[in-house]
Chains A and B, each alone.
Chain A
Amino acid sequence: MKPASFDYVRATTLEEAVGVLAADDGVTVIAGGQSLLPMLNLRVTAAETLLDITRLEELKAVRETGEQVFIGALVTHASIEDGIAREAFGGLLQRVASKIAYRAVRNLGTVGGSVVLSDPSADWPACLLALDATAVLASASGQRRVALSEFLVDAYETALEPGEILTGFEISRRNAGGWGVGKVARKSGAFADSLAVAVLGRAGQATRIALSGTASCAQPMARVAALLDEEPGAQAEQLARAIRADITDAHEEATPYQERCHLHTVMSAITEARQSWS
């Protein structure tokens, strides 16, 4: 099995990469390639020119300051699994990274690639949406920042404009009061049927919960998050009502199985978040 032919260009600096993108709108960026290459091999997608950005050292950076953490787009799942930025959000990033696909895939797959693809079942979009991350985008004309809630538009669709490249994510070190993750997959490493990430609010910060495994991109679960802020001790029945209402918005025409999965993952994420906080 071989993909259809394409041209290949390798950039070594961000400046060079955005130059290539500005000059030709038929260019597809490739990073770890762990989603793109299977899709090319199966010919469910095609590319005229692949721009290899894996040598852009500036996109591999992780910078931690007092206020925020910057995770470069080329940081691999495996390096987060192995402890990069482990302390930043109480281990949340590490937990999410370690459950993505398989180690050999995590060794090359990148955080940025996962979010830019916006696969409906992917792990990072839900995690970074729950952390209220900001995507940092670069193009030949400069830089812009887009909140993840705006960046994720739909399944396989983002706010990335032609000529733009994702350089990384800025995540505020909010006073997160605990986090939890719920994931249902048919086997370990398979794409999730449902994945929920809950980050409880503290010190005036709002609770944020996000869901993957819908028909669209990762979705916020706003009602149940608001309920948790108003009534931190809300009981299971009350939570379930809010979650069901959120699921109706987040996943139109969900099957009964999908609804059960979503209810379970969101509830598990909340339970784990509450336990980790107390």
Chain B
Amino acid sequence: MELTLTINGKTETLSVDARDSLSDVIREKLNLTGTHVGCDHGACGACTVHLDGIPVRSCIVLAVRCEGSEVRTIEGTRGDDAMNVIRRHFHEKHALQCGFCTPGMLMMASDIIRRYGRPDEKQVRSELSGQICRCTGYMGIVAAIVAAADELAGEPAAG
């Protein structure tokens, strides 16, 4: 089947199978391997991308469903000022070790900050419960998101 979608601002027309997931197409047809696939059935959150501006799990979205849609992957966030602030706080707060979950964490983090403005630790933990990290124990990730949100809101970071 023919699929046309906008990926990171660029419109692409591809030939896909009906059964291809969005993550298959992103990684294998578009060679955007920053999107990681952990579980392939929507349990781990590693493959989270933005579909028409909202986070979805690309392993449980059919690619053909995305006809005409706008998809943003981690590669599409390089010039995004807010994401660069989040990324810096991930670095400073040791919010990653192996890095496998990180692209999904970042895509989710930017949505949490967009919706909450300045989320507190409890809100971040609750919102992140669908993103699995097997290295960090989440302390650094939660701290990074809270600190990034504070900085983006123009407020001095607490503590």
Q: Roughly how many angstroms separate A10 CA and B20 CA in the complex, as a whole number?
A: 15
Contacts A1-B40, A38-B41, A104-B57; is A8 near B111 (CB within 8 Å)? no
| Chain A: interface size category | 20 to 34
- Main SS class of interface, B: mixed
Q: Is A277 an interface residue (CB 8 A)?
A: no
| Residues of chain B from 9 to 64 with CB closer than 8 A to chain A in the complex | 17-21, 24, 40-43, 45, 48, 51, 54-57, 59-62, 64
Q: Is the CB of B111 within 8 A of A37?
A: no
* B65 on interface, CB distance cutoff 8 Å: yes
Interface pair B17/A108, CB less than 8 Å apart: no
A104 and B18 contacting across the interface, CB-CB below 8 Å: no
**What chain A residues lie within 8 Å of B19 (beta carbons)?**
2-6, 40
10 inter-chain pairs at a CB distance below 8 angstroms, sorted by A residue, are A2-B20, A10-B67, A34-B60, A37-B41, A37-B60, A103-B130, A104-B55, A104-B108, A108-B51, A108-B56
Inter-chain contact B65/A107, CB cutoff 8 Å? no
Interface pair B130/A102, CB less than 8 Å apart: yes
Interface bracket on B: 20 to 34
- Hey, which bits of chain A sit against chain B, CB under 8 A? 1-8, 10, 30, 33-34, 37-38, 40-42, 50, 52, 54, 78, 101-105, 107-108, 187-189
* Set A5, A105, A107, A108: member contacting B18, Cβ < 8 A: A5
Q: A2-B19, A188-B129 are in contact. Are A41 and B60 (CB under 8 A)?
A: yes
Q: Measured between alpha carbons, how far is A5 from B108 in the docked complex, in Å?
A: 31
A6 vs B19: C-alpha distance in the bound complex, in angstroms?
A: 7
Distance of A160 from chain B, by nearest CB (Å): 22
